[in-house]
Amino acid sequence: MQGTQSGTRGATASAAQDGARARLVLGNWKMHGSLNDNAALLTALRAGAGAATCEIGVCVPFPYLAQVEVLLKGSAVSWGAQDISVHDKGAYTGEVSGAMLNDFGCRWALAGHSERRAMHAESDVLVAEKAKAALAVGLTPVVCVGETLAEREGGNTLGVIERQLEPVLDLGAEALGRMVLAYEPVWAIGTGRTATPEQAQEVHSAIRVALRGLGVPQVRVLYGGSVKAANAATLFAMPDIDGALVGGASLVADEFLRIAAI
Ligand code: PEP
- CA nearest ligand 1 atom 3, residue: 247
Active-site option among 147, 184, 204, 255: 184
Q: Is the pLDDT of residue 144 over 70?
A: yes
- DSSP letter assigned to residue 15: G
Q: Is residue 154 part of a domain?
A: yes
Query: CA–CA separation, 52 vs 76, rounded Å?
Result: 9
Number of domains in the chain: 1
Distances in Å between the alpha carbon of 144 and those of 44, 73, 165, 181?
Answer: 27, 26, 9, 6
How confident is the model over 46-71, as pLDDT tens digits? 999 998 899 999 999 999 999 999 99
Q: Which pLDDT belongs to residue 1?
A: 61
Query: CA–CA separation, 202 vs 213, rounded Å?
Result: 17
Q: Which domain holds residue 115?
A: 24-261
Q: Specify which residues 78 forms β-bridges with.
A: 57
Q: Is the pLDDT of residue 193 over 80?
A: yes
Q: What percent of the chain has pLDDT over 90?
A: 89
Query: CA–CA separation, 239 vs 199, rounded Å?
Result: 13
Q: Is residue 7 part of a domain?
A: no
19 is in an annotated binding site: no
244 CA: nearest ligand 1 atom: 5
Q: Which pLDDT belongs to residue 15?
A: 62
Q: Which pLDDT belongs to residue 251?
A: 98
Query: CA–CA separation, 215 vs 9, rounded Å?
Result: 9
The reply to whether ligand 1 has any atom less than 6 angstroms from the CB of 245 is yes
Torsion angles phi and psi, residue 189, rounded to 5: -85, 120
- CA nearest ligand 1 atom 7, residue: 247
Q: Is residue 88 part of a domain?
A: yes
Q: Is the pLDDT of residue 13 over 80?
A: no
184 CA: nearest ligand 1 atom: 5
Q: Which of 142, 245, 255 to mutate to test the pocket of ligand 1 (most atoms within 8 A of CB)?
A: 245
Q: Residue 229, Cα to own-chain centre: how many angstroms?
A: 18
State the CATH number of the domain containing residue 43.
3.20.20.70
Torsion angles phi and psi, residue 148, rounded to 5: -80, 170
Q: Is residue 4 part of a domain?
A: no
The predicted model gives 198-225 an average pLDDT of: 98
Q: Is the pLDDT of residue 17 over 90?
A: no
Q: Is residue 16 part of a domain?
A: no
